[in-house]
Structure 1
Amino acid sequence: MIHAHWLTPAFHPSYVRLLCVLMRRRGVTTATLLEGTGLEWERLVDSGAAIGLPQIRPLVHAALTLSGDPALGLEFGAAIPVSGHGAVGYAAVASRDVRQALETIVRYGRLRGSALEFRLATDAAHTMLQVRERIDLGVARVPLMETVLVVLVKLLESLVGHALEEMECALPYPRPPWVESYRRRLSGRLAFGADCMELRLPHPLLDLPCLTADLQGYAAAVQECEKALVQLLGEGNVLQQVRARLQGRSDALPTCEAMAAELHMSTRTLLRRLKQHGTSYQALLDEGRKEQAQWYLQHTARSVESIAEALGYQDTSNFSRSFRRWFGVPPSAFRQRKNR
């Protein structure tokens, strides 16, 4: 887990507003819920500024205490409408198929919660949507992860129109005493104690068309998301933009020329601006390749040759040299060591 500064913005204020509504239905006034959090209802309604962990932690603690319900996160996730996720939610439900919906979540999920990172990974039979914590969520961790879990499952099931019995959900914490609340809201298999939250979907499921597909609606929502993403990352910080675009990709990592085209600049300009930040595209590409190589060896049975090809290496020997430079051992030895 990456521990960022505790004042880092965490979640969009719409979720705090929706939590206030849910608690009012349970008989808890908004003033009581927000007491001691540093949040005010009037500002929540008028502002679009992200809410940081110093407010989220006491807010979640208060909601759990006042409700007396340790499974409140599950109920909250089920209560959030698609509109609560803004343009990201609209883009996901308007996607062509499940694959495009997952890719949309991975690319734009940070717009709704920069405390979380969404990634896609694959093995021989499954595609995995992973949710990793960028910062220490503290007391809010389990209820927030429960909320995100239900939101994602509910979204995916709405896209295909039926329960996803074949999906596996893994959670990064021990099995809670209220596990039956999970079973009442979720279909498919559950596992606890994982490295991160992970929704495992059989490959054929990704090709299912979305019942709510809307080509024009998707294009409009994505355009809005792209504008917000540029603003979030900082238009002038090309380093952040490149790193963000390399993260969470399920396809081959782009060449420098392809990345420059994605950023609407020349290759020469991209290289010059990265040099101003003290790095190069090759160094950033190595970061992405290192992470993907490690995951493939730990979580799939793919051969070293297949992994090298997937990462864009012309031959296996070049990949093996790079891997030894990263981890001090060849890929085969790394896999054996991790599987003991």
Structure 2
Amino acid sequence: MTTRKGAAPAHLSVLLDEAVDGLVVRPDGRYVDGTFGRGGHSRLILERLSGDGELLGIDKDPEAITVGRELASADSRFRIGHGSFAELPRFLEDAGWNGISGMLMDLGVSSPQLDDAGRGFSFMRQGPLDMRMNPEQAPSAAEWLNSAPEAEIADVIFQYGEERFSRRIARAVVEQRAETPLSTTRELAELVSAAVPRKEKHKHPATRTFQAIRIFINRELEDLETGLRAAVDCLEPGGRLVVISFHSLEDRMVKRFMRDLARGPQLPRGLPVKADQTESDFRLVGKARKAETDEVADNVRARSAVMRIIERRPAKSEE
């Protein structure tokens, strides 16, 4: 996420202008920033809205909520909600909104979370083995790793990290915790590095394992599945859902969801139905977008970003 001039804390919002350009189709509409972070996207969305527009920010992280409350006190068009975008219907009910003109999801862990050693997300920094986007929820990564069955640990690392040495890593975790419970990011990173027999060039051996545990602890894929459906169900005609993902598991889920939604019902050949009876209410907007070379040069975390957009078709009279 990027911080523009005059905005708060250093946070590089990936595909900032591209995402907001694709999202804000009505300056007087109601929008949702489902991953507020430090407000980079939200601030630009507010710049694009008229005095009648409104924006709801949502985030799991209490630190993000603090920033959001500061923004809400400075701009009456903005409000912030603490939780997951999977809970969108609840947040809209609380706001008194019946529908939305668009929603943005900027997935994954934020730069401030990665950069804060105390949050335990990064294998590059020594800190407590936590990894919770919402520290008020349990369990932490350490609590789970020190209690979960070996097979469960292996399955999580394989499914969410696509790590082929997941069983070796899980076995090493169980052997280590029998001696001394894991408690720091460095302990886990060193354990994984020792357990992985073959290293990938230019990639830390713990990358996939840390990703997998973070996704599992925060229920990221479950929330994404629920959030995607909730978002499109709430879109008004002409409204758009914009999603930025950062790894293949997320992007595959988003791509398939949007593709199937835009394709419409797939009925057997020969059924006596008209073409317009099988036409989808949704359409894909453009192709998947990636960060340009200059953005990647400024923010290396942008290199894996993929943005996709889907739109609920406008009413026939508006087309």
Give TM-score, length-normalised by structure 2. 0.29
Higher relative strand content: 2
Q: Counting helix residues as a fraction of each chain, which structure ranks higher?
A: 1
Relative to the length of structure 1, the TM-score reads: 0.28
